[in-house]
């Protein structure tokens, strides 16, 4: 290649429209068409297979001087135009003196373009019927785009209005159809790009549409599909009733839509002619005039039409006139030999059935456009590459001297001097740089099947690749290739070649070498040194890597020559393997993407590889149990997570087994661009080569290893890749399990703190300071129920109930967290006392306090967060509970103060009090006053005077405390219960004294009414009572 020349020439040389390229470029890039199938009828048996030269000599040249109508039929892009142009070029040189050759180009494939070509012909310019000639001139007048589209649309309505044929559509239906067509909403739909009106417009207007060759200017049933929503819109817009009726009928009725489309298509020709300003018969007239004129001159006509669709709108007229033989009533017409190109689709869908019998021969260009061997394909590419590296002058000179093959100009190589070449004639070979044979075959096979034609090879392969090279040779190849996954890396004998490449290169360098070796080469890294000392890697000469400035890599010594060097073909160095070469005996046999042998695991594995590849290329990664590929990805991801879970030695890494068991989802990793559940995992794996390799390894594990083993071909290497990756991500995973939101995991601290609160609130901790609490309490205390009777405040009791709800969970959490387990654990405990002591000391030092800001952070592991929430709830209640307890205590002390002086009261004071109470009741009983002597109540105080005195003292101190935890510990042993016992006794005694007083007063009243003896006795009794009063009053003081 000479890139300096190619940069300037590529645009001219690679013009897919054969007509617009120069004659010299056309001939320099022409590749012989070898398999033209000749039939008498469209579906008929192939009579002969001809080369283009044979077709020309035997038929186009018309040696028998007969009337004939030959259709050249083939799929779009197979080279019909190229062939007809080649016929035309040959005819220009070889036709007889009396033969006039008219070549109608497709030009821009519009009727106006075709008419313009006709007007340029001498034979047309001199036709006697000047009126028709002028109409042709008018038909080429340019009309504003929008106006022309509207004109076409309105003319369809006019045509329907005036159509009296009701065979396809009844009159009613036509009326409703007109109403619908007149509706603005429907009109806008049909006028949209690519809809029917637009397609017809492209065939009428000149210079519209960039590549409209495959467009057929007809209506399609889909043009008339409407949905319920559209109908509702019509109702809302108060559209015409008939329009609404037709629209409603069309909803879901494909048959009616098809019927309408068929009907509309009967009107297309008339509409196009009207819009072009032609009258029915004009075209036929023009051609008849031409034939008559030629007859007068004693000449015959060969008419070459590149594509019949260029005559859309007048094609029937054209067929009429060219199918007329020059005999009988038409003997005033000259003999005509017509060679007309048409696509298969056009012929089958549009070509009038009644004209098919008039076709004398069909020349079918098979899909195998490049003939019977791959050389045609290489030659095709090679000739374009050569032409673009040659100056226009060099090719014009060749044309001038007869464009003979022996003088075929070959450019001087500036790049790729040692490159693969393709031989086109003796001593003529063309450089394929920057392609290899292999790349041509593979890139061609990757085109969609219906586009495996010269046109698309040129546009989507040759032009694309060359432009890619010219824009950045040192980054070449750097282009996206659809369906690249169809050429995966080789995987043989436990060797994953792509993984080896990754050992050497990464990033964009990997991307281009990956593409280069897979498409340009044999998709492996096998190396071979030929007898002449040339080294090959992956079937590509090492010099080729150097040519593109690629990183040097070491291949894998294969010890045997790549297929292209050992198949005895004597071929030039290149990348075509023998299988490809063998298959390349015809384009239909070009090696299609290899299908795996029927091995379900391998098929599944390949599907996984392709799915991952698409993700790496920018797609999303789906996990779904209902779709095959997504399910496999889900399995692979699950296995990755399972691998991580099992491979990390959690305890040794300082993570309690209890902690990791609380990560219930075990979704350690997720992926960049995964479609669902984003942000739920600990680590997001980027869409890079490493992740690709590892994910592929796990796909291999679930497919080739059935999710059980790495014991499959290449398993050890894939396992190594997993281990390498795992060791890299392990620290991050461990860190994510040990922390959350930047905080150390603290649920175990919360659990210990909650348990310590429980021990205090339930009175199991007897001490009064937090410092006095010790670790063994955590397992030595048993869980208790809320007591039935208690002197605590109701808030305290409520807190007890709250603690009770979670006490088992809290205790188990502590013992499980600090248990050193083997495997997944068991019932026995071997405590991690070092860790427990460390945490316990911290908790004690902080006096159970954890900052609210920390407690309000949300731990993403729900079971951990649940424990934290329990503690947060308990901790939040401590202030309220302690205050309530204190308030209750103050009220009790006040009550007590009504009976006794509590200040510095001790057990002796209490003992004395009990004695006096006893004395009171003794005296009362002796005096036969009816008060009940409650020995049990008195004894309850008497035997506990020391604790009661202490309790009073403690409560007196407790109510002075301010810290909630101190208050809780002060009331932990429920001192108010003892205070209450004393208070109960005193209250009873007080009530009994009041009763006795009332009784005494009553008795005195009775005595005052008696005798002096009685008086004397009264005074005695009165004296005793007064004395008792003094005693009791003494207590109260």
Partner 1 sequence: MFADKMKHEAIPERVFALCELVKNKPWNESDAKEYFEPSALKGSPYFPMVRDAASQYQLGLVNVTDKKIELAVDKSVVASMETMRKYIIKHISVIKNGLFYETSQAYFDLNEKVYEYGSVTEQDLMDALQKNMSRKLDVDDMRAWRFWAAYLGFGHLARSATNQPQMNFLPNLYRYLQAAIEVSSLERGKEYRFDDFIRAIQLSCDIAMKDALTSRRLNMAMSYGLRMMHDNGEIELRYQLDNKNLWYLYPADLHAIRSEVSHITIRR
Dist. CA 855–CA 875, nearest whole Å: 10
Distance of closest approach, residue 83 Cβ to partner 1, in angstroms: 50
Round to whole Å and give the CA distance between 296 and 332. 8
Closest contact distance (angstroms) between CB of 617 and partner 1 is 23
Report whether 593 contacts 487 (CB < 8 A): yes
Q: What is each CA distance from 63 to 327, 551, 688, in whole angstroms? A: 18, 62, 67
Q: Where are the alpha helices (DSSP H) in 205-327?
A: 228-236, 241-250, 254-265, 268-275, 282-296, 315-322
Of 142 and 716, nearer to partner 1 (C-beta) is 716
**Secondary structure (H, E, C), 983-1020:** HHHHHHHHHHHHHHHHHHHHHHHHHHCCCHHHHHHHHH
Is 147 or 708 the residue whose CB approaches partner 1 more closely?
708
Smallest Cα–Cα separation from 538: which of 573, 493, 507, 509?
573
Q: What is the closest distance, in whole angstroms, from the C-beta atom of residue 731 to partner 1 in the complex?
A: 12
Nearer to partner 1, 35 or 719 (CB): 719
CA 232 to chain centroid: 35
φ, ψ at 693 (rounded to 5°) = -60, -45
Residue 444 or 663: which CB sits closer to partner 1?
Answer: 663
Q: Which is nearer to partner 1, 784 or 880 (CB)?
A: 784
574 contact partners, CB below 8 Å, separation of at least 6 = 420, 432, 436, 437, 438, 539, 564
Using alpha carbons, list the distances in angstroms from residue 397 to 82, 110, 371, 1018. Answer: 22, 34, 29, 165
Three-class HEC string of 697-732: HHHHHHHCCCCCCCCCCCHHHHHHHHHHHHHHHHHH
Q: Which is nearer to partner 1, 199 or 498 (CB)?
A: 498
Q: Are 439 and 544 spatial neighbours (Cβ–Cβ below 8 Å)?
A: no
Q: Angle at the Cα of 328 (from 327 to 331), degrees rounded to 5?
A: 55
Question: Least distance from C-beta 714 to partner 1, angstroms?
Answer: 9
- Closer residue to partner 1 (CB): 830 or 1019: 830
| In the complex, minimum distance from the CB of residue 614 to partner 1, in angstroms, rounded to a whole number | 24
Locate all alpha helices (DSSP H) within 472-558, ordered by sequence.
Answer: 497-504, 507-515, 542-547
CA 963, CA 732: separation in Å to the nearest integer? 42
Q: How far is the CB of 551 from partner 1 (least distance, A)?
A: 12
CB of 202 to partner 1, least distance (A): 55
Output the smallest distance, CB 566 to partner 1, in A: 21
How does DSSP assign 103-137, residue by residue?
EE--TTSSHHHHHHHHHTSHHHHT-S-HHHHHHHH
Residue ranges of alpha helices (H) inside 458-522 are: 464-471, 497-504, 507-515
> Judged by CB, which is closer to partner 1: 722, or 983?
722
Which residues of this chain interact with partner 1, rule CB under 8 A? 493-497, 499-500, 503-504, 554, 556, 638-639, 642-643, 645-647, 649, 651-652, 707-711, 715-717, 719-720, 723-724, 726-728, 776, 779-780, 815, 820, 822-823, 828-834
- Residue 708 or 926: the one with the smaller Cβ distance to partner 1 is 708
Closer residue to partner 1 in complex, CB, 240/638: 638
* CB of 747 closer than 8 Å to CB of 868: yes
Q: Residues 1013, 1017, 1021, CA angle at the centre, nearest 5°? A: 170
Give 820 or 961: the residue with its C-beta nearer to partner 1: 820
Q: Which is nearer to partner 1, 584 or 821 (CB)?
A: 821
**Based on CB atoms, which residue is closest to partner 1, 188 or 494?**
494
Report the C-alpha gap between 484 and 479 in whole angstroms.
11
CB of 251 to partner 1, least distance (A): 50
- Between 646 and 1016, name the residue whose CB sits nearer to partner 1: 646
- The whole-angstrom separation of Cα 721 and Cα 502 is 11
CA 753 to CA 309: how far, in whole Å?
88
Tokens of 947: 């604790």
User: φ and ψ at 257, to 5 degrees?
Assistant: -60, -40
Q: How far is the CB of 665 from partner 1 (least distance, A)?
A: 16
Closest distance to partner 1 from the beta carbon of 756 (Å): 17
Tokens of 442: 């593979």
* Shortest distance, position 590 Cβ to partner 1, whole Å: 30
CB closer to partner 1 out of 225 and 645: 645
Q: Of all residues in the chain, what percent are helix, strand and coil, respectively (each to 5)? A: 55, 5, 35
Query: Which of residues 529 and 651 has its CB atom nearest to partner 1 in the complex?
Result: 651
Closest CB to partner 1 among 157 and 729?
729
- Is 593 or 654 the residue whose CB approaches partner 1 more closely? 654
**Min separation Cβ 721 and partner 1, Å:** 9
Return the structure tokens found at 413: 């190589």
Least Å distance between CB 744 and partner 1? 18
Least spacing, CB of residue 831 vs partner 1, in Å: 6
Q: In the bound complex, what is the minimum distance in angstroms from residue 829's beta carbon to partner 1?
A: 5
How many C-beta atoms lie closer than 10 Å to residue 629's C-beta? 17
Q: How near is the Cβ of 972 to partner 1 at its closest, in Å?
A: 21
Measured CA to CA, the distance from residue 870 to residue 860 in angstroms comes to 15
User: In angstroms, what is the minimal distance from the CB of 708 to partner 1?
Assistant: 4
The backbone region for 164, taken as left when phi is positive above 0, alpha when psi lies in -120 to 50, beta otherwise, is: alpha
Secondary structure in 3-state letters for 330-346: HCCCCCEEEEEEEEHHH
Other Cβ atoms closer than 10 A to 572 = 19
50 DSSP β-pair partners: 36
């Amino acid at each position: 290649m000479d890139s300096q020349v190619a940069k300037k020439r590529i645009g001219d040389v690679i013009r897919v429209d054969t007509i617009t390229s120069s004659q010299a470029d056309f001939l320099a890039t022409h590749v012989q068409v070898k398999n033209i199938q000749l039939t008498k009828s469209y579906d008929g048996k192939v009579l002969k297979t001809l080369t283009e030269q044979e077709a020309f000599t035997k038929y186009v040249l018309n040696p028998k001087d007969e009337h004939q109508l030959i259709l050249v039929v083939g799929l779009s892009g197979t080279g019909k135009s190229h062939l007809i142009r080649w016929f035309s070029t040959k005819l220009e040189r070889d036709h007889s003196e009396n033969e006039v050759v008219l070549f109608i180009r497709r030009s821009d494939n519009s009727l106006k373009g075709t008419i313009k070509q006709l007007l340029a012909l001498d034979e047309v310019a001199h036709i006697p019927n000047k009126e028709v000639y002028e109409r042709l001139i008018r038909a080429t007048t340019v009309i504003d785009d929008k106006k022309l589209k509207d004109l076409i649309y309105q003319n369809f309505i006019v045509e329907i209005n005036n159509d009296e044929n009701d065979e396809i559509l009844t009159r009613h239906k036509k009326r409703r159809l007109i109403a619908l067509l007149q509706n603005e909403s429907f009109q806008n739909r049909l006028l949209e790009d690519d809809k029917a009106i637009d397609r017809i417009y492209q065939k009428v207007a000149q210079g519209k549409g960039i590549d409209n060759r495959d467009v057929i200017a007809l209506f399609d049933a889909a043009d008339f599909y409407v949905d319920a929503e559209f109908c509702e819109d019509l109702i809302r817009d108060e559209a015409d009733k008939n329009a609404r009726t037709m629209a409603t009928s069309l909803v879901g009725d494909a048959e009616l839509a098809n019927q309408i489309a068929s009907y509309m298509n009967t009107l297309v020709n008339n509409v196009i002619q009207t819009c072009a300003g032609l009258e029915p018969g004009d075209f036929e007239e023009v051609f008849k005039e031409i034939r008559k004129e030629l007859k007068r001159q004693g000449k015959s006509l060969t008419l070459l039409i590149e594509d019949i669709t260029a005559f859309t709108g007048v094609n029937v007229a054209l067929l009429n006139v060219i199918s007329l033989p020059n005999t009988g009533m038409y003997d005033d017409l000259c003999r005509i030999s017509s060679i007309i190109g048409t696509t298969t689709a056009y012929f089958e869908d549009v070509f009038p059935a009644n004209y098919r019998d008039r076709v004398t021969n069909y020349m079918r260009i098979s899909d195998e456009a490049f003939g019977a061997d791959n050389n045609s394909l290489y030659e095709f590419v090679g000739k374009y590459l050569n032409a673009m590296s040659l100056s226009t002058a060099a090719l014009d000179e060749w044309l001038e001297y007869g464009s003979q093959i022996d003088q075929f100009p070959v450019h001087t190589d500036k790049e790729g001097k040692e490159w693969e070449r393709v031989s086109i004639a003796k001593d003529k070979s063309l450089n394929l740089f920057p392609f290899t044979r292999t790349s041509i075959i593979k890139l061609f096979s990757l085109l969609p099947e219906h586009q495996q034609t010269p046109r698309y090879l040129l546009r989507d392969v040759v032009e694309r690749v060359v432009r890619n090279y010219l824009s950045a040779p040192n980054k070449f190849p750097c282009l996206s290739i659809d369906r690249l996954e169809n050429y995966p890396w080789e995987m043989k004998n436990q060797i994953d070649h792509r993984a080896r490449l990754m050992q050497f290169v990464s990033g964009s360098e990997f991307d281009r070498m990956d593409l280069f070796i897979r498409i340009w080469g044999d998709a492996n890294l096998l190396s071979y040194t030929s007898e002449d000392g040339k080294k090959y890697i992956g079937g590509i000469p090492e010099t080729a890597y150097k040519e593109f400035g690629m990183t040097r890599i070491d291949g894998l010594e294969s010890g045997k020559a790549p297929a292209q060097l050992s198949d005895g073909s004597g071929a030039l160095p290149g990348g075509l393997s023998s299988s490809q070469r063998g298959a390349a005996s015809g384009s239909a046999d070009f090696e299609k993407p290899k299908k795996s042998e029927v091995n379900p695991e391998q098929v599944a594995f390949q599907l996984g590889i392709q799915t991952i590849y698409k993700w790496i290329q920018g797609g999303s990664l789906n996990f779904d149990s209902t779709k095959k590929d997504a399910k496999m990805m889900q399995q692979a991801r699950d296995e990755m997570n399972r691998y991580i879970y099992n491979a990390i030695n959690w305890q040794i890494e300082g993570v309690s087994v209890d902690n990791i068991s609380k990560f219930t989802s075990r979704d350690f990793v997720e992926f960049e661009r995964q479609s669902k559940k984003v942000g739920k995992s600990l680590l997001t794996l980027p869409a890079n080569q490493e992740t690709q390799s590892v994910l592929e390894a796990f796909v291999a594990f679930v497919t080739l290893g059935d999710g059980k083993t790495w014991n499959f071909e290449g398993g050890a290497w894939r396992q190594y890749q997993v281990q390498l990756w795992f060791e890299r991500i392990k620290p991050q995973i461990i860190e994510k399990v040990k922390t959350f939101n930047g905080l150390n995991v603290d649920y175990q601290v919360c659990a210990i703190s909650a348990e310590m609160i429980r021990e205090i609130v339930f009175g199991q901790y007897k001490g009064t300071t937090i410092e006095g609490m010790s670790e063994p309490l955590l397992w030595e205390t048993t869980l208790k129920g809320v007591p039935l009777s208690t002197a605590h405040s109701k808030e305290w009791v409520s807190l007890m109930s709250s603690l009770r709800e979670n006490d088992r969970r809290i205790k188990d959490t502590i013992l499980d967290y600090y248990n050193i387990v083997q495997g997944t654990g068991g019932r026995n405990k071997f405590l991690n006392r070092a860790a427990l002591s460390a945490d316990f000391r911290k908790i004690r030092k902080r006096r159970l306090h954890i900052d609210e800001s920390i407690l309000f952070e949300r731990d993403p592991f729900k079971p951990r967060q649940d424990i934290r929430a329990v503690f947060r709830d308990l901790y939040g209640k401590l202030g309220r509970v302690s205050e309530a307890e204190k308030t209750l205590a103050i009220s009790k002390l006040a009550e007590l103060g009504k009976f006794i002086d509590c200040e510095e009261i001790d057990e002796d004071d209490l003992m004395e009090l009990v004695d006096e109470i006893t004395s009171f009741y003794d005296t009362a009983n002796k005096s036969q006053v009816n008060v009940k002597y409650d020995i049990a109540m008195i004894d309850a105080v008497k035997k506990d005077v020391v604790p009661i005195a202490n309790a009073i003292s403690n409560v007196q101190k407790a109510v002075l405390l301010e810290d909630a935890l101190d208050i809780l510990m002060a009331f932990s042993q429920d001192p108010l219960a003892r205070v209450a016992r004393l208070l109960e006794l005193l209250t009873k005694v007080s009530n009994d004294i009041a009763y006795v007083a009332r009784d005494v007063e009553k008795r005195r009243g009775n005595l005052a009414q008696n005798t002096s003896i009685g008086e004397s006795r009264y005074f005695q009794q009165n004296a005793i009572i007064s004395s008792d009063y003094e005693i009791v009053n003494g207590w109260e003081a």
